[in-house]
Amino acid sequence: MPKLDVFFTVDVEIWCNGWHDLDARFPQAFRNYVYGNPNGGEYALRYKLQQLRDHGLLGVFFVEPLFATRFGLGPLEEIIGLIREHGQEVQEHLHTEWVCESHQPLIEKAQPRRQFLRQFTLQEQTALIGAGKELIEHAGGGVVNAFRAGSFGFNRDSLSAMAVNGIRFDSSYNSTMFGPDSGVMPGQDVFEPIACDGVYEYPMTVYNDGSGKLRHVQLAACSNLELEGLLQQSLAAGRKSFMMLSHNFELLNAARNRADPIMIRRFARMCRFFADNRDRFPLRGFHDLEPATVVTQPPVLTSPRWKTGHRIVQQALRRRYG
């Protein structure tokens, strides 16, 4: 029976709603982003981990570690401990906004605040990726062999920096964002895995939803009908991988103070779908992954407009009642 390797990836981040009063804001932000607001139910990181474990599913948790250079290793150890306790995979994610908040300089010129990894030199990127990898491993995350840049803000130098740090896989390429001008395969979108500069690039899965624009497959921005149809289409086309995105806070409302019921149902249906179809759509990680690269990129995936309309209605309800 044909099967498609699916990566359900979760970017794990902590934000303090601005850059002022960080030390005062961080404890509550940490609780909300990791456990959820107790008044609105626990629907953050730990809930997702529990649901994946209960369904026998594997996720890849790209953990942002640079916040620990401001607040210490303890909170990072707590996050990684939860992920490992639930049998899930830990990998590296960097949001370089934290660089200038570190108590110990990570690079020579930390200022000004830069949002994207691609805004740093090759030497700086090498140092930052190495620092993040070391933090994760010191916090009990095990061997890091995959990476994703914050907000997909990478470039080709990032791949070289990963290779220097012994990181074999990257998942920063997103055709809807910085991928096309990253320097990776100039003039051509990357939809399937390739080898580049000593690293295997596993790009985000994207699709045309009938609006004329590409959209990446993200739990908070893609309905179950769209997701299931795109999986079937990818399997039928013989694709090598299907890369999904989520975040630790996506089951919460925009204020992060209570659950989003539409997202809870969406995530629950997704888990049931993968549990019921694990023979065709196995969820896997990057540990022990044998790269499956392509020479020629396939056509972009498509989804019919009626499914787009269904998702737009869902999103409108989320905004109205969130």
Element (H, E) at 246: strand 241-247
Query: What local confidence, expressed as pLDDT, does residue 211 receive?
Result: 84
Q: Amino acid identity, residue 147?
A: F
Percent of the chain at pLDDT above 90? 87
Assigned token pair, 31? 């609780």
Determine phi and psi for 114, rounding to 5 degrees. Answer: -125, 130
pLDDT at residue 319, rounded to an integer: 65
| Cα–chain center distance at 315 | 21
Alpha helices (H) along 13-95: 22-34, 45-54, 68-71, 73-85
Q: Dump pLDDT digits (tens) for 208-256.
A: 988 888 999 999 999 999 999 999 999 999 999 999 999 999 999 887 8
Task: Give this prediction's pTM.
Answer: 0.95
Q: What's the CA gap between 115 and 99, in Å, rounded?
A: 10
Tell me the pLDDT tens digit for each residue of 261-286: 999 999 999 999 999 999 999 999 99
Q: What is the pLDDT of residue 316?
A: 64
Q: Render pLDDT for 180-205 as a digit per residue (tens, 0 to 9).
A: 999 999 999 999 999 999 999 999 99
